[in-house]
């Protein structure tokens, strides 16, 4: 393989996009499973804490998944940074006016939404994984002597400040994915001919489903449909 070939396959803008897409697929997979897991809150304390115990009991697998996801996030951000730098350098002098005909707000705010998601994610981990936000709630135990994640979850979302920041987080994730998921299929070379129109739709549809799935449990907590009692 000549040096030219090696270079184009390692650092070309298309390669970076493929990195964005593959890491994106992995993270969307996580997000979907995460959403399904949280819907278990509607089945009550025992079912929800069972699910939490199951995940915590995965041991080595859990750590592989955690480090895998961290790696995905790192690669996604690194590729995004390289691409964004390149894109900004490509037009040093802007237009006095450039009209958009087809792009969307979500597509134009990918970088901003991505950053917002990253910081919201740090807060989310500090809240539910590390237990730094409500240190006292994190020590609650249920009738079987396990960490009572169910009560932690329900009581947290009865606080409108936590609910508000969480919903904003969900909105950013959904906005990011409404463009990202469709973009992923295009980058992976799948959006062609008769697949083009359905793939244009798949991002927004995934975003709406995720929004409903993620917003429902905390809203139910706030409205008293799901209670800790």
Which residues form the interface with another protein (CB under 8 A)? 4-5, 7-9, 12-18, 83, 86-103, 107-108, 110, 179, 182-183, 186-193, 196
Question: Which residues of 125-225 form beta strands (DSSP E)?
Answer: none
12: CB partners within 8 A, 6+ apart: none
* Smallest separation (angstroms) from another protein to the CB of 87: 4
- Residue 146 or 186 with smaller CB distance to another protein: 186
* Smallest separation (angstroms) from another protein to the CB of 70: 24
* Smallest separation (angstroms) from another protein to the CB of 1: 8
How far apart, in whole angstroms, are the C-alpha atoms of residue 193 and residue 9? 26
- Residue 111 or 123 with smaller CB distance to another protein: 111
* Smallest separation (angstroms) from another protein to the CB of 209: 21
Q: What is the DSSP letter of 147?
A: B
| Closest among 129, 153, 138, 159 to 42, alpha carbons compared | 153
Q: What angle do CA 43, 48, 49 make, to 5 degrees?
A: 145
Q: How far is CA 95 from CA 88, 98, 109, 111, in A?
A: 13, 6, 19, 21
- 1 and 186 Cβ atoms separated by less than 8 Å: no
* Smallest separation (angstroms) from another protein to the CB of 198: 13
Number of helices followed by number of strands (H, E) in the chain: 9, 0
- Residue 69 or 110 with smaller CB distance to another protein: 110
- Residue 193 or 229 with smaller CB distance to another protein: 193
- Residue 114 or 218 with smaller CB distance to another protein: 114
Sign of CA dihedral 57, 63, 68, 74: positive
Radius of gyration, alpha carbons of the chain: 20
How far apart, in whole angstroms, are the C-alpha atoms of residue 144 and residue 49? 10
- Residue 93 or 143 with smaller CB distance to another protein: 93
* Smallest separation (angstroms) from another protein to the CB of 112: 13
How many angstroms separate the first and last alpha carbons of the chain? 66
* Smallest separation (angstroms) from another protein to the CB of 173: 18
- Residue 5 or 161 with smaller CB distance to another protein: 5
């Amino acid at each position: 393989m000549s040096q030219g070939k090696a270079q184009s396959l390692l650092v070309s803008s298309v390669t970076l996009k493929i990195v964005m897409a593959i890491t994106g697929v992995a993270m969307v997979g996580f997000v979907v499973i995460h959403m399904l897991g949280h819907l278990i809150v509607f089945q009550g304390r025992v079912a929800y804490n069972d699910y939490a115990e199951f995940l915590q009991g995965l041991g080595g697998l859990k750590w592989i998944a955690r480090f895998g996801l961290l790696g995905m996030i790192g690669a996604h951000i690194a590729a995004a940074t390289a691409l964004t730098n390149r894109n900004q350098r490509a037009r040093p002098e802007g237009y006095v006016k450039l009209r958009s005909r087809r792009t969307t707000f979500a597509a134009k705010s990918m970088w901003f939404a991505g950053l917002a998601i990253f910081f919201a994610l740090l807060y989310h981990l500090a809240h539910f994984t590390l237990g730094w936000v409500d240190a006292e709630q994190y020590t609650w135990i249920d009738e079987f002597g396990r960490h009572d994640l169910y009560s932690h979850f329900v009581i947290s979302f009865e606080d409108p400040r936590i609910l508000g920041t969480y919903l904003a987080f969900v909105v950013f994730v959904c906005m990011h994915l409404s463009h990202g998921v469709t973009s992923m299929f295009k980058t992976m070379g799948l959006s062609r001919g008769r697949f083009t129109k359905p793939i244009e739709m798949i991002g927004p549809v995934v975003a709406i489903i995720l929004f409903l799935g993620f917003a429902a449990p905390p809203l139910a907590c706030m409205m008293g449909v799901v209670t800790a009692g």
